[in-house]
Chains A and B, each alone.
Chain A
């Protein structure tokens, strides 16, 4: 069995907010690896630092200290503008509230990452349509997000996250705004799409029902990684 390639690696990551007496240490020297062709789920109670960690791994938040290698790039040494370009080229995002732009169609929403990369809308739309077909929304391309159900909107968000073929996908509570059935469907679809070699997904979730779609689970508490194990070794009963 070959050694898995590391997609994202965090070493001794620290992060605090506020200053003086109001300073709150959110992350206490986090060490974590996410591998290619893997879905890593971050689990933990509210306020444990999951969102802060995922923001740092995504390159949208700068850590106070530590080293951060993402897809071979040392993000902790890069300038903000370079990190922004890096995100545009290599990272796909799926947000809790979908964050689709309501005034444009689904295919235009799905094309947004390509537009950010500088592609024209006319060239981006065929890619967006293909991506929407992959998530089973071929019949809804011309509709606006508010004409779709929550599950369909999250599928548009998945199509948007994958349209530019990113190597790292960051998901923030992808099923939090969905009912159980839709959540399962979305995760099944997500897992199928993640089968592409070289892709890595880091998913923050509270939803224990979707943990089975992961390859590895890292649990956090009080700004620290408590454990990081393959899903097969995860003690579901203990965390229920």
Chain B
């Protein structure tokens, strides 16, 4: 009966393709939009990935990593004196203007790191070395900056090239890989002292303090100790939702709560779900109605309701799996393209394909439910009524 059910399904190629399209569309839209949303949320925490440290100490009112409220330089010493702290280093973080050779301006994310320890330095160098930052006017840029800071995108910048940050010279001594920032600007590293000279002077300039706990101490307890001792805010920098004071989590939740981004993406995902349900349910119900007299004949010939329901379920399962497979492949293809193109943001955690599969199961269940009800209530004697 399973093969018979499939032959009935494949035989009506127009409806079969429409059903597959409905599921495929829903899968693609939900997977792609969820992944772009996750990618965007990851971009909001790019500074934490690009300047990694187990603990970030910031001003008390800071709620997320892209929010900069400067602290006093003396706060660095207070943190260093806290119990459980192995070392603590200053970090400058701010959005600055870069003037290109053709006179136009572009924004960059400037990071100033300790010139002795290089705490917060880029993790993956492509060219040059971090130590070269000790040279005059030296900066390390990410690969995106090579294109963005070049007046002609066809001839990207290279090692040794010079540009201006707030009218002061900067020379490229290293190129690294880095996660894209939420603002879309490239990352530039320099020493803390030089970053202060690039940035417009303010009374307080210290953006954050990067802390390493002593061996054997967990970041959570050391962060709590720092908060108690200094009155500053201390976040851990770990995996998503690993603790209540985790900075990535706090940042992402801040964007979820304070921006319309989740509503925008959520609406698109909802549209995918609704369109999927509408197309699949309607088409499958039409398919069942078209075949109703055949189901009636099968019922008269002795096919039980259970057998007919299993036929419908096998049909809808095949449609669901084929549509889901194609939709997921398309979303993955989009993801590969986006990663290669460096935008739009795309990150597909394991949970997304499984969650979308769950939604597709719900869609297919709804689609089959109408058909199952119709067939179950079908009177076998209907075949004798012409």
CB-CB contacts of B287-309 with A at 8 A, as 1s and 0s? Answer: 00001011011111111100100
CB distance from A169 to the nearest CB of B (A): 12
Count residues of chain A with CB under 8 A from any CB of chain B: 31
The answer to whether the Cβ of A89 comes within 8 Å of any Cβ in the partner chain is yes
The answer to whether the Cβ of A172 comes within 8 Å of any Cβ in the partner chain is yes
Question: A104 contacts B384, CB within 8 Å?
Answer: no
> Among A2-10, A33-41, A53-61, which stretch is in contact with chain B?
A53-61
CB-CB contacts of A43-79 with B at 8 A, as 1s and 0s? Answer: 0000000010011001011000000000000000000
Question: B301 contacts A93, CB within 8 Å?
Answer: yes
Distance in angstroms between the alpha carbons of A99 and B291 in the assembled complex: 10
CB distance from B299 to the nearest CB of A (A): 8
Instruction: Using A85-B302, A88-B303, A104-B4 as known contacts, say yes or no to A60 and B297 having CB atoms under 8 A apart.
Output: no
Question: A60 contacts B8, CB within 8 Å?
Answer: no
Question: A99 contacts B383, CB within 8 Å?
Answer: yes
Question: B380 contacts A60, CB within 8 Å?
Answer: yes
Question: A103 contacts B297, CB within 8 Å?
Answer: no
Q: Which residue of B lies closest to A87 (CB)?
A: B302
CB-CB contacts of A86-111 with B at 8 A, as 1s and 0s? Answer: 11110101011101011110001000
Question: B4 contacts A121, CB within 8 Å?
Answer: yes
Question: A51 contacts B8, CB within 8 Å?
Answer: no
The answer to whether the Cβ of A112 comes within 8 Å of any Cβ in the partner chain is yes
Question: B381 contacts A60, CB within 8 Å?
Answer: yes
- B216 — which chain A residues lie within 8 A by C-beta? none
Q: Which residue of A lies closest to B3 (CB)?
A: A121
- B297 — which chain A residues lie within 8 A by C-beta? 93, 95, 99
CB distance from B282 to the nearest CB of A (A): 20
CB distance from A41 to the nearest CB of B (A): 15
Question: A51 contacts B10, CB within 8 Å?
Answer: no
Distance in angstroms between the alpha carbons of A61 and B301 in the assembled complex: 13
Question: B11 contacts A104, CB within 8 Å?
Answer: yes
Question: A108 contacts B7, CB within 8 Å?
Answer: yes
- A95 — which chain B residues lie within 8 A by C-beta? 297, 383-384
Instruction: Using A101-B8, A103-B11 as known contacts, say yes or no to A112 and B298 having CB atoms under 8 A apart.
Output: yes
CB distance from A24 to the nearest CB of B (A): 15
- B383 — which chain A residues lie within 8 A by C-beta? 60, 93, 95, 99, 172
Q: 8 Å CB contacts to A: which residues of B4-36?
A: 4, 7-8, 10-12
Choose among A104, A116, A121 the residue that contacts B303 (Cβ–Cβ < 8 A): A116
Question: A54 contacts B384, CB within 8 Å?
Answer: yes
Distance in angstroms between the alpha carbons of A117 and B8 in the assembled complex: 19
Question: B294 contacts A99, CB within 8 Å?
Answer: yes
CB distance from A116 to the nearest CB of B (A): 5
- A112 — which chain B residues lie within 8 A by C-beta? 4, 298, 301
Q: 8 Å CB contacts to B: which residues of A110-161?
A: 112-113, 115-117, 121
The answer to whether the Cβ of A81 comes within 8 Å of any Cβ in the partner chain is yes
CB distance from A145 to the nearest CB of B (A): 11
- A91 — which chain B residues lie within 8 A by C-beta? 301-302
Question: B302 contacts A84, CB within 8 Å?
Answer: yes
- A121 — which chain B residues lie within 8 A by C-beta? 3-4
Q: Which residue of A lies closest to B11 (CB)?
A: A103
- B380 — which chain A residues lie within 8 A by C-beta? 60-61
Choose among A55, A97, A104 the residue that contacts B7 (Cβ–Cβ < 8 A): A104
CB distance from A133 to the nearest CB of B (A): 21
- B307 — which chain A residues lie within 8 A by C-beta? 116
Distance in angstroms between the alpha carbons of A60 and B302 in the assembled complex: 9
Distance in angstroms between the alpha carbons of A51 and B381 in the assembled complex: 9
- B384 — which chain A residues lie within 8 A by C-beta? 51, 54-55, 58, 60, 95-96, 172
Q: Which residue of A lies closest to B307 (CB)?
A: A116
Q: 8 Å CB contacts to A: which residues of B272-321?
A: 291, 293-294, 296-304, 307
- B300 — which chain A residues lie within 8 A by C-beta? 58, 60, 87, 93
Instruction: Using A54-B384, A121-B4 as known contacts, say yes or no to A116 and B302 having CB atoms under 8 A apart.
Output: yes
CB distance from B303 to the nearest CB of A (A): 5
Question: B381 contacts A115, CB within 8 Å?
Answer: no
Q: Which residue of A lies closest to B303 (CB)?
A: A116
- A103 — which chain B residues lie within 8 A by C-beta? 7-8, 10-12
Distance in angstroms between the alpha carbons of A186 and B345 in the assembled complex: 69
Instruction: Using A84-B304, A95-B383 as known contacts, say yes or no to A116 and B298 having CB atoms under 8 A apart.
Output: yes
Distance in angstroms between the alpha carbons of A27 and B303 in the assembled complex: 27
The answer to whether the Cβ of B386 comes within 8 Å of any Cβ in the partner chain is yes
The answer to whether the Cβ of B1 comes within 8 Å of any Cβ in the partner chain is yes
The answer to whether the Cβ of B385 comes within 8 Å of any Cβ in the partner chain is yes
- B291 — which chain A residues lie within 8 A by C-beta? 101
Which of B8, B297, B385, B386 gathers the greatest number of chain A CB atoms within 10 Å? B297
- B302 — which chain A residues lie within 8 A by C-beta? 84-89, 91, 113, 116-117
Distance in angstroms between the alpha carbons of A54 and B291 in the assembled complex: 23
11 A-B pairs whose Cβ atoms sit less than 8 Å apart in the complex: A51-B385, A99-B383, A101-B291, A104-B7, A104-B8, A112-B301, A113-B301, A115-B1, A116-B307, A172-B383, A172-B384
Q: Beyond the given A60-B299, A85-B304, A101-B4, could you list 18 further A-B residue pairs with CB under 8 A, ordered by the A residue number?
A: A51-B385, A55-B381, A55-B384, A60-B381, A81-B304, A87-B302, A88-B302, A91-B301, A93-B297, A99-B294, A99-B296, A103-B10, A115-B1, A116-B301, A116-B302, A116-B307, A117-B302, A121-B4
A-B pairs with the 4 shortest C-beta distances?
A103-B11, A88-B302, A55-B381, A99-B297
